Structure 1
Amino acid sequence: MKKSSAKMVLVYLSVVILGLACFLKIVHLIFFQRSLFEGTSAQCLDKTQPDWESNPLADDTTCNCFVVQNDLKPLRGEIYDDRGRLLISNFNVFDITVDGRMLQPKSYRKGQHTIVNDTIYCGGGRNFSRSANPAEIEKLVNELAYAFYQQFKDRFPKKNINYYKKQFRKAIKEMKNAPILQSTLHREKEWITDEDTAFVNKLPLLSQKRKGGLNYTIRTVRINPYGDLARRTLGMYTDNKKFGLEMSQNEILQGEAGAQKYIYVNQARIPLNERIEPVDGFNIHTTLNLEIQNVVHNELLKILIEENAEWGCAVVMETKTGEVKAISNLTRTQEGHSVYEESQQNYALTAMVEPGSTFKLASLLAYLERTDNDSIKKYPMMYHTFIRKNKNGKEFRYPKTDGYERREEWGYPIEAFQRSSNVGIAAMIFDTYSIDNYQEYLKKIDSLFITTTFSTQLGMINAPNIKRKAYDFHSYYNACFGTGFKMTPIQTLIYFNAVANDGKMIVPLFVNAVTNKNDTIKKFEAEVIAEQIAKPETIKRARKYLEAVVSGERGTARAYKNKYISFAGKTGTRDIWDETTQSYLKNKNSASFCGYFPADEPKYTAIVFIYNVSRKSTIAVKAFANIAKNVTRLAYLTSLREIPTENKKVTPSSRAIANVDIPFVFQGYGVENQKLTKDSPYVRISYSDNELQQAKSSVLLEKNSPNMIGLTAADAVYELNKLGYVTKIYGRGRVKNQEYNTEKMTAKLYLE
């Protein structure tokens, strides 16, 4: 009994002594080593300070206390279209590394003996000793190399099977850290996705995850589910490539990085309290509309392929608001091939090109501003010899022709304009501003704000490089119809839009709102350059001239006149200047058409510009007319099948249409707005016996069994994104087939 009591006292004293020792150690740490573990001690090297390399501790090999900082990346904001559908979102890709150091033999003591375990655990009951079965190691290397080669050979063609064998030998046999594959961030074809990691996780050894040495580095990339649509305008922001909205709106999208400081003491990693949480970036809502963008992209692509053009661009903007609803910049990828993709250059905003005859609208405005009655005097067309005198009264004769015929005709200004007569337009300007007073003409052009430099949400737009100090006849003559100087297509669009907008000139708008998860942070409206660029009567008369280009008997765009879809505008053709020969190439042209639709009450203003083709401006008119027709067919941005035809009542129908859009569709088609079912957000509608027939569509918005058959690509991607799916689309049109992986939350939509 005494022995038992003595043991209890001994245990009690031991616990007291141990507790006292711990208490004293805590006191010692708090009062004597606190600065060390806070990283403020003179014995600690703080690598977060800008001048840390000059600290003597940086060269002290015995220093075992360091303070470092890890940056915490915020989530980059997303980009949406004008209806809240994702255009650019975040997507995780992976780098794959196998750390062979995790496969090193493990040693432990058992009694007086040290036991070494060099077993490699492959999973599924497959295990073998490293030292006893070297052939199994080589077999495992070959299996993994072959599996990786088969999975990734299309995306990483430069990495053959020998490469994979070398890397896996390095990891498994040499027990070193071996990088296997790395995603190329700016090249979607070389991304390693969730589907790939699911495949890798089933392979022998790697199925053991971290114990098998498998390590994934997650990186966030930007993905555009609609492929090439507006890719140049939406842009990119990586270390190597910065352009488009991703660059110009980077301060809004990028958010604010956070930070976490750590202290390493004797190789122990301890987080410090100085943690700054990252602030995610804001989302931007663009003015782009997916349906209109799709129309513009396809029509531009079609005409470029037909004409084997070098490049082309097209822009559609809302006349009143300045909101850019579509912008496409396509370039030929290789000479002699009809393959086009979104260009790295935003041609619409940056390509300095000779405008050609579209600039005749600027000259027309200058003429009308000083001419009250434009139906009295006729002017020469086709051919005319202009006479100019110098200060001494000596005459200089300048014969000019619109073509090859030397036959002079005379006509009123509206005839000269609709026939796009260079001679006629120049004669009108010379009569109004004098053949000797080029500077007076330039002052008037400047007063119309046509030569203005302005800033957009995508950057600065430079002013036209029109000759300012020229006094010769040819510079003056050429300037009247857009030759001898250069400007961007967007500048032409802006002053055409001012005419369509009753004289009000506004800067194109690409972003209309900034939001976070809950609120609208900021809204944007188009900047007004001038409330009135010319007298209201001048604008009114100018629109009659633009209508005559399409509806007039001799109008250069008359071939595409459409009684159901009216549009107005001006054609433009220019020979391309060759720097080598210092001359214009007669068989290489730029063709353009700029205008608005409908002609009587403009809703959209657009430009089509095609570079390096053998034909003239009618090809641009063709593309413009198709864009106008198809955008009108959208009927409040929905995909209905029919438009008005002669002597036929409109009967709208759709396989799957959003319930909220139907009242607008009926209103636009003059159909009485009837009550609609609310059973589903999407319905099928048709008209029969003067009655609306409606039924619940087959669309299912269920997470585990979605069905998007019949929806447009835009609506399908929007709905799947809300359900949490990462979506890829193939083809154009409506959803015909679909594939889903509910485990990985991925979807593939096949359109037709």
Structure 2
Amino acid sequence: MKKLFTLLIVLSFLGCKDKKQSTITPKLEKDLCESLYNDSKKIEGYTLKTYADSTIQNISKTSLLESLKESEADNGFVLVMETSTGKIKAMIGLEKDSQSKYVLSKNIAINTPIEPGSLMKTFDVMSLLEDKKSDTSSVYDAKGGKISMYGKSIIDNHLGFNELSLRKAFLNSSNTIFAKAIDSSYKNTPNQYINNFNKFGLSSSFSQISCNSVIPSPNTNSWSKITLPFMGIGYGIELTPIQLLTYFNSIANNGVMVAPLLVSNIQNNIGDSKEFSKPVSRNTECSKTTITILKDLLRQSVSKGSCQFVNSQKIAISGYSATTQINYSSENQKKEYASSFVGYFPSEKPKFTILAYIKNPNSEKGYYGSILAGSVVKNIAAQIY
């Protein structure tokens, strides 16, 4: 009887040990993940295993470095996500040091808000179609590619366009038409457009990554008549690169949004560990019909639209680019740009989704997102497919 009592105590103890609450809390998990891309956030006493693939990481670094050197840009970064799982297979940032040599960035701005520029046009099409404000055959007038709205000029990168369907406006990345389409559709109901950020997952935050997006709100002091059309072309709004990557990945993934997974395992120096192997997903509130249309548009953007530079004979790539002026509030300064491209491949059955971002290239060397950032994605795709 005494032996049985002792055995019950031991089993009870073991059961309690198995049920012991992990010391790795959700907040600590997020802080530790942040230390991977922010050197100032280092936390001692923990070992992290990531989902990074060394081959993809090295290919991404080489491709990014080539584009940075050619464009003489200040810095840039690349994110590669596995489409079906959200696992981050590569995360690389490079920047100029004091001798103008490119070195690994101590801080990779994956959760630092940026103005998305033309990347917003994909979200615009999703909103217009889902809210039945327009369809891809609806025609708008670009007025030669230069218009004035509420006292502000809006100009297309390529002048000369007049009447274009929404489809052609997307393939030609027309600022004038998207500014007009979003304003005319939502100026009386702006909250409907704003609410779509949550519905379609573009304002999401994630268990391993905090995201502090800046989305203007109607009926606040910062809101004016020009806010909505400017948002439609990606200005006056700030989203994080990881949000943009995850959003485009949800389109590649047929409307299923999977949270980005940086870390596969966390362990502390007393042996407590936590595994992260199961993807966390949710369906976006977007119809399969609209997803199918967007997938077609993103493929055509590369095959015959404004992103043709990215088109590859080796592999079908889908995606969209942005060439965003980053100092438009300073009228007397030389214009500075950020070049970006988000894409996935192979188009028919996506395996990877990639975001490339290059900041402040030498404008005399070229600064278009489809070329600078697009070439990075094209090179990576060709080597890892």
Aligning the two structures, in what range does the TM-score lie when normalised by the shorter sequence?
0.7 to 0.9
Is the Cα contact below 8 Å between 2:178 and 2:229 reproduced in 1? no
Q: Distance in 1 between matches of 2:170 and 2:230?
A: 16
**Which residue of 229, 252, 255 maps to 1:477?**
229
Task: Within 5 Å, give how 1:271-670 maps onto structure 2.
Answer: 284-334=48-98, 337-350=99-112, 352-371=113-132, 374-381=135-142, 382-383=144-145, 385=147, 400-403=154-157, 405=159, 407-433=160-186, 435-456=187-208, 459-468=209-218, 469=220, 470-513=222-265, 522-525=274-277, 528=280, 530-552=282-304, 555-577=305-327, 582-583=330-331, 585=333, 587-613=335-361, 614=363, 615-617=367-369, 618-632=371-385
Q: Distance in 2 between matches of 1:398 and 1:482?
A: 15
Q: Distance in 2 between matches of 1:601 and 1:294?
A: 24
Identity of aligned residues (%): 28
Structure 2: which amino acid aligns with 1:361? T
Q: 1:478 to 1:495 in 2, by over 3 A?
A: same
Task: Within 5 Å, give how 1:693-708 maps onto structure 2.
Answer: none
TM-score with structure 2 setting the length:
0.80
Structure 1: which amino acid aligns with 2:349? E
For structure 2, which runs of at least 5 residues remain unmatched after alignment? 1-34
Q: 1:568 to 1:574 in 2, by over 3 A?
A: same
Report the CA distance between 1:494 and its aligned residue.
1.0
Structure 1: which amino acid aligns with 2:347? A
Q: 1:386 to 1:499 in 2, by over 3 A?
A: same
SS of the counterpart of 2:239?
Answer: coil
Structure 1: which amino acid aligns with 2:315? I
Q: 1:523 to 1:404 in 2, by over 3 A?
A: closer
Q: 1:384 to 1:371 in 2, by over 3 A?
A: farther
Is the Cα contact below 8 Å between 1:330 and 1:341 reproduced in 2? yes
RMSD (CA atoms): 3.0
For residues 307-366 of structure 1, what are the alpha-carbon distances to aligned partners after superposition, in whole Å with 9 as ceiling and x for unaligned?
A: 1111101000100000000000111102xx54111112121233x221111121111111
Task: Within 5 Å, give how 1:40-119 maps onto structure 2.
Answer: none
Q: Distance in 2 between matches of 1:359 and 1:586?
A: 25
For residues 36-85 of structure 1, what are the alpha-carbon distances to aligned partners after superposition, in whole Å with 9 as ceiling and x for unaligned?
A: xxxxxxxxxxxxxxxxxxxxxxxxxxxxxxxxxxxxxxxxxxxxxxxxxx
Report the CA distance between 1:408 and its aligned residue.
4.9
Q: Distance in 1 between matches of 2:287 and 2:133?
A: 11
Q: 1:398 to 1:372 in 2, by over 3 A?
A: closer
Higher Rg: 1
Q: 1:610 to 1:444 in 2, by over 3 A?
A: same
Q: Distance in 2 between matches of 1:251 and 1:506?
A: 29
Q: 1:379 to 1:586 in 2, by over 3 A?
A: farther
Q: Provide the residue aligned with 1:108 in structure 2.
A: none
Q: Provide the residue aligned with 1:61 in structure 2.
A: none
Q: Distance in 2 between matches of 1:572 and 1:483?
A: 11
Task: Within 5 Å, give how 1:187-202 maps onto structure 2.
Answer: none
SS of the counterpart of 1:577?
Answer: coil
SS of the counterpart of 2:319?
Answer: strand
Q: Distance in 1 between matches of 2:72 and 2:302?
A: 26
Structure 1: which amino acid aligns with 2:111? L
For residues 145-198 of structure 1, what are the alpha-carbon distances to aligned partners after superposition, in whole Å with 9 as ceiling and x for unaligned?
A: xxxxxxxxxxxxxxxxxxxxxxxxxxxxxxxxxxxxxxxxxxxxxxxxxxxxxx
RCO (CA 8 Å, sep 6+): is it higher in 1 or 2?
Answer: 2
For residues 614-670 of structure 1, what are the alpha-carbon distances to aligned partners after superposition, in whole Å with 9 as ceiling and x for unaligned?
A: 2221211111100111111xxxxxxxxxxxxxxxxxxxxxxxxxxxxxxxxxxxxxx
For residues 229-255 of structure 1, what are the alpha-carbon distances to aligned partners after superposition, in whole Å with 9 as ceiling and x for unaligned?
A: xxx83776xxxx543xxx3xx5643xx
Q: Distance in 1 between matches of 2:347 and 2:57?
A: 21
TM-score with structure 1 setting the length:
0.42
Report the CA distance between 1:587 and its aligned residue.
3.1
For residues 183-241 of structure 1, what are the alpha-carbon distances to aligned partners after superposition, in whole Å with 9 as ceiling and x for unaligned?
A: xxxxxxxxxxxxxxxxxxxxxxxxxxxxxxxxxxxxxxxxxxxxxxxxx83776xxxx5
Q: 1:329 to 1:465 in 2, by over 3 A?
A: farther
Q: 1:401 to 1:235 in 2, by over 3 A?
A: closer
Report the CA distance between 1:431 and its aligned residue.
4.2
Report the CA distance between 1:598 and its aligned residue.
0.7
Q: 1:526 to 1:386 in 2, by over 3 A?
A: farther
Is the Cα contact below 8 Å between 2:327 and 2:335 reproduced in 1? no
SS of the counterpart of 1:454?
Answer: coil
Q: 1:480 to 1:373 in 2, by over 3 A?
A: closer
Q: Provide the residue aligned with 1:106 in structure 2.
A: none
Report the CA distance between 1:383 and its aligned residue.
3.1
For structure 1, which runs of at least 5 residues remain unmatched after alignment? 1-231, 254-283, 388-395, 633-752
Report the CA distance between 1:585 and its aligned residue.
5.0
Q: Provide the residue aligned with 1:197 in structure 2.
A: none
Q: Distance in 2 between matches of 1:616 and 1:586?
A: 16
Task: Within 5 Å, give how 1:119-138 maps onto structure 2.
Answer: none
Give the number of the structure whose residues are more often helix, by fraction: 2
Q: 1:522 to 1:551 in 2, by over 3 A?
A: same
Q: Distance in 1 between matches of 2:310 and 2:82?
A: 22
Task: Within 5 Å, give how 1:211-290 maps onto structure 2.
Answer: 233=36, 242-243=41-42, 247=43, 252-253=46-47, 284-290=48-54
Q: 1:297 to 1:571 in 2, by over 3 A?
A: same
